[in-house]
Amino acid sequence: MAVLIAFFYVISPVAEMREKPDETSEIVSQAYFSEEVKVLENQGEWSKIQTCVDTYPGWVKTASIYYRPDPFAPSVVAKVNRPSVHAYDRQDTVYGSVLTLPFESQLRVLEPLDTTSTSRWLKVALPNDKELYIQRGDVELNPGRISRQEMCSLSEQFLELPYTWGGRSSFGYDCSGFVQMLYRQMGVFLPRDSKDQVKSSLFVETSLSLLKAGDLIFFGLEQGKIRHVGMYLGDDQFIHSTVAENQPYIRISQLSSPEWSGGGRFKYRTFRTLA
C-alpha cells in the first residue's frame, strides 16, 4: 500500500497554539504564516499540530492550516523582512489590503521571476496557491543566513512590539520566542522555551566578564528555575521582551540595573554563548 505523504502549512497570519482544543484554554505557543507543521490529531474544528522547526505541540483551529500533496518549495522565495506587511489582490494600494503578514512569512514569486528587476510589485503565491501582490520593498528575495552582528542590528527593528504570551511572530513575541527568532536568522535553531534554551547543547556557559554581543542572558528565581531570557548587545545593554517595570514590550535594558541584577522579580543567573 502506498504511504500518503502530507505537507501542512499555516495559512493564517498567526495561529494561536493552545494547550487543549478549546478557545478558553491556555496559549502555549504560536505558529506563523507559511510555517510547516505536522498534524498529530484532529478533533472537530481543532487540530493538534507540532511545529517542524522546534517540535512544539499545541492545538490550533483547523481552518488556519492547509494540506498540500507536495512541499511548498518556491524556486524564488520572497521573505517578509519587516514586522508587518500588506498583501493585495491587485497592483494598487488604494483599494486596501487583503492580508497582513508577519516577519519571516514566505511566498512563492510568480512574476517577475528576474530577481534583478526593479519593478515595484511582485505577483506571489501563498502556500494554498492563492495569488496576490506584494511590494518588492517589503520582502527579501532568496534570503541567506545573517551574521551575529547583523542579528544584533536586526533585533532593534522589533523595539516596542508588544509582549505576547506564547508569541513567536512579529505581531508580538514572548522572551524565548524573540531570541529563538533572532537565532533562526543565523541558521541556529533553538528550543522553544527559555528553560530548555539554557540547557541546549548548542551553547556553552560563559561569564559576565566575557559576554559579547549576541550572547544570551538567562534570568530566574534561582539557577535551576529559569523563567526569562534576553540577548546581550554590549555596553551593559540587553534586548528582551518582557512585562516587567510596567513596560510590556520589546526594549533595551541595563544589565546592571537593580531590576535585573538582583532587586527585581528575577535576576540574571547564567550566560550562554554558541559552542
230: nearest Cα among 197, 199, 202, 258: 197
pLDDT of the residue at 223:
81
| Average pLDDT value for residue range 146-152 | 97
Assess whether pLDDT exceeds 70 at residue 4.
no
Per-residue confidence band for 176, with pLDDT thresholds at 50, 70 and 90 = very high
pLDDT of the residue at 55:
96
Report the top-level CATH class of 148-274: alpha beta
Q: What is the CATH number of domain 77-141?
A: 2.30.30.40
Domain formed by 7-68, architecture: Roll (2.30)
| Average pLDDT value for residue range 5-34 | 97
Query: 224-266, pLDDT tens digit by residue?
Result: 899 999 999 999 999 999 999 999 999 999 999 999 998 777 8
Query: 77-114, pLDDT tens digit by residue?
Result: 999 999 999 999 999 999 999 999 999 999 999 998 77
Q: Which residue has the cell 508577519?
A: 102
Domains 7-68 and 77-141 share a fold: yes
| Domain ranges within the chain, ordered by starting residue | 7-68, 77-141, 148-274
CB atoms within 10 A of CB 62: 16
All three cell numbers of 80, joined, read 517578509
Per-residue confidence band for 3, with pLDDT thresholds at 50, 70 and 90 = low
Assess whether pLDDT exceeds 80 at residue 5.
no
pLDDT of the residue at 119:
87
Question: How would you list the strands of the sheet with 77-80, edge to edge?
Answer: 131-135, 121-125, 106-111, 77-80, 139-141
pLDDT of the residue at 114:
75
Q: Is the separation of the CB atoms in 190 and 172 below 8 Å? A: no
| pTM for the whole structure | 0.94
Residues of the chain with pLDDT > 90, as a percent, come to 91
180: nearest Cα among 172, 171, 189, 167: 189
Q: Within a 13 Å sphere around the CA of 272, how many CA atoms are in the beta-carbon half?
A: 24
Collect all residues with Cβ–Cβ distance below 8 Å to 91 and sequence separation of at least 6.
Answer: 120, 121, 133
Coil/strand/helix, residue 186: coil
pLDDT of the residue at 224:
85
Average pLDDT, the chain: 95
| Average pLDDT value for residue range 3-20 | 92
